[in-house]
Amino acid sequence: MYDVAVIGSGAAGGAVAYLLADAGLKTALVEKGPWMKRGDFSKDEIAYCRRDIVTPNLFEEYHVIEELSEGRWVQRPTYETGWSFWNGNIVGGSSNLMSGMFHRMHPDDFRLLERYGPIEGANIVDWPISYEELEPYYDRVEELVGISGTFREHPLEPPRKRKKFPQPATRENRITELFDISCRRRGLTPLVTPRAILSERRGGRNGCYYSNFCGSYGCSSGAKGSSREAFIEPALKTGNLTLIDNTFVKRLVTSSKRSVGYADAVDSRSGREVKIRAKLFVVAAQAHESVRLLFNSANSHYPDGLANSSGELGKNLIFSAGGWGEADLDRKSLSKEMFDAMMEPGLFVNRSILDWYRLKEGGRSLKGALVEFMFGHQNFIRRAAMSKYSKDGKLLWGEELEKVLRYRFTQSKRIRFEVFNDWLPTDECRITIDPTRKDRFGMPVGKLRVNSHPYDLKLARKVAQKAEAVLKEMGARNIVTSVSSTPPQNLIAGGCRFGDDPSKSVLNRHCQSHDIPNLFVADASFMPTGGSVPYTWTIYANALRVAEYIKKEFSCISARS
């Protein structure tokens, strides 16, 4: 029997496993996918972006998506649409594939209701903890993960006790000079985006080699601060961590109403049944899959899903709202010197704007958004495929196509922005399980009802227009913007909301089940609201906070269970 079994090895699971193993607890880390190591990763666009090398085959494992169409809810399995909500089923999870753009949540994000007031139709609640309680763990992540950056004072920058990042900022393309000038002309303050990417060698991890293929790809240098590199590999060296890969946990089985006894699992290669026994369980399988596991673990004590006495399990699913825009910078936009510098491969843009994180409308303060700026994704096949149509939708061929391809690959570069604003929680965005459809392991698949609040789109459009103005100031051409209520498939939170009231939340402030003391949920499903930033830094920080609590209280919790 293990002291602790952690289910899922992504950002949350790896961080929890590291801290507990380092404290001497015998810890099992259970991962559904294989253990891919640093040398196994490549920049193969076909493998990582067009096939299922790190995610399940959708005909074997899938989700059902419910969307509103002409006034009614329409269900479609993802094997029909190709729309995948799997995000890196390998050791380290999707943190292996992230771009590593890290932002802390703002103190306002923890007090969204108190600070900005209610919005009709949105289930906004304040967090049971404050920014000040999480801030030490943000600091700790900086050190353990190795975040690079350059701090600049800004009235909307979250408070920091120390101003210097552990690593210098990664190298920048000279186009950032034009970006900074353009922002200042518009009265904006350009900020260097912190990155979970080493700019210098540290320990057994190399600094970045600037391939410019970060998002969607594993890192073969060790520079990217994935859960695998930053937490799991060091935890294995303690001798207290057992990594159990290629093992899918089907359900958690309780030994009493107040205690989980073991995890009922299956080896995904051989089909062999496995039982994993521990004194304490931490679920961290990514929000929608953690909720599915708890629903699939229903029993006589919890007929509506494990630890669901409140009836809140699966409710208030959230994503990261917003949109994106792209434009061309080319020889007509830039001086020859700046154009030649821009075309140098590999170097980053690494810029963010926080000036719109708080907005004014009619004398009232509104919660706004973060905007990140970067080069467009470097995937060659995608870039070529996106060039095959003219502006009026005509399929290009021959010399016409060649002309466009030459422009795209040798005479211009795409500069891109991404808007991050709150996806407001609502009654019509939630996770359940499908009563009839099952995956290859014989378990009911997750059913995701996705629906956004109208306010999300209104705000995203407002901020996207402001971001467009920056691109125009730079001289960019052919600006295209997309603001949509379609959720991103890699930024998922909610479903196991934490809070102090057991009748209105699934978890307490320590992300411990109100119902079952030896059960914790540590991934992003705990979040009642997601802030206007990507989630990863907060997931890492909160996982360390939860692990610290478990470490201190382990003897008491295991004795009660």
Q: What pLDDT is attached to residue 145?
A: 97
CA distance 513 to 508: 6
What does the pLDDT read at residue 70?
A: 84
Helix, strand, or coil (residue 17):
helix
What's the rounded Cα separation, in Å, for the pair 354 and 366?
14
**Helix (H, G, I), strand (E, B), or coil: what is residue 437?**
strand
Digit-coded pLDDT (tens) for 235-271: 999 999 999 999 999 999 999 999 999 999 999 999 9
Backbone CA torsion sign across 65, 70, 73, 75 = negative
Mean per-residue pLDDT, 59-82: 93
Query: pLDDT at residue 420 above 80?
Result: yes
**Per-residue pLDDT, 49:** 87
The proportion of the chain whose per-residue pLDDT surpasses 90, expressed as a percent, equals 85
* Bridging pattern class, strands 318-330 and 412-422: antiparallel
Element (H, E) at 295: helix 287-296
Report d(CA 478, CA 341) in Å as an integer. Answer: 21
pLDDT of residue 546: 98
Q: Would the pLDDT of 10 be above 90? A: yes
Least confident piece of the model among 39-53, 162-176, 224-238, 300-314 = 39-53
Q: Which two tokens stand for residue 424?
A: 């407001």
Beta strands of 140-284 (E only): which ranges? 190-192, 241-244, 247-256, 259-267, 273-283
CB 513 within 8 A of CB 521: yes
Q: What's the rounded mean pLDDT across residues 442-448?
A: 97
Domain boundaries in the chain?
2-54+63-78+87-560
pLDDT for the residue 121: 96
Judged against a pLDDT cut of 90, whether residue 536 lies above it is answered with yes
pLDDT digits (tens, 9 = 90+) for 13-36: 999 999 999 999 999 999 999 999
Query: What tens digit of pLDDT does each residue of 178-191 get?
Result: 999 999 999 999 99
Measure the CA–CA gap between 199 and 207, rounded to whole angstroms: 5
Q: Domain spanning 2-54+63-78+87-560: which superfamily?
A: FAD/NAD(P)-binding domain (3.50.50.60)
Name 312's Cβ contacts closer than 8 Å, sequence gap at least 6. 497, 504, 505, 506
Q: What residues contact residue 239 under an 8 Å CB cut-off, 6+ apart?
A: none
On whether the pTM is more than 0.85, the answer is yes
Mean pLDDT over the full length of the chain: 95
**CA distances to 55, 320, 402 from 247, in Å:** 14, 29, 48
**Dist CA 66 CA 449 (whole Å):** 4
CA distance 313 to 310: 8
Structure-block tokens of residue 399: 């010399």
What percent of the chain shows pLDDT beyond 70?
100
Does pLDDT of 561 surpass 80? no
- CB half-sphere exposure, 13, CA atoms < 13 A: 33
Q: 389 pLDDT band (50/70/90 cuts)? A: confident
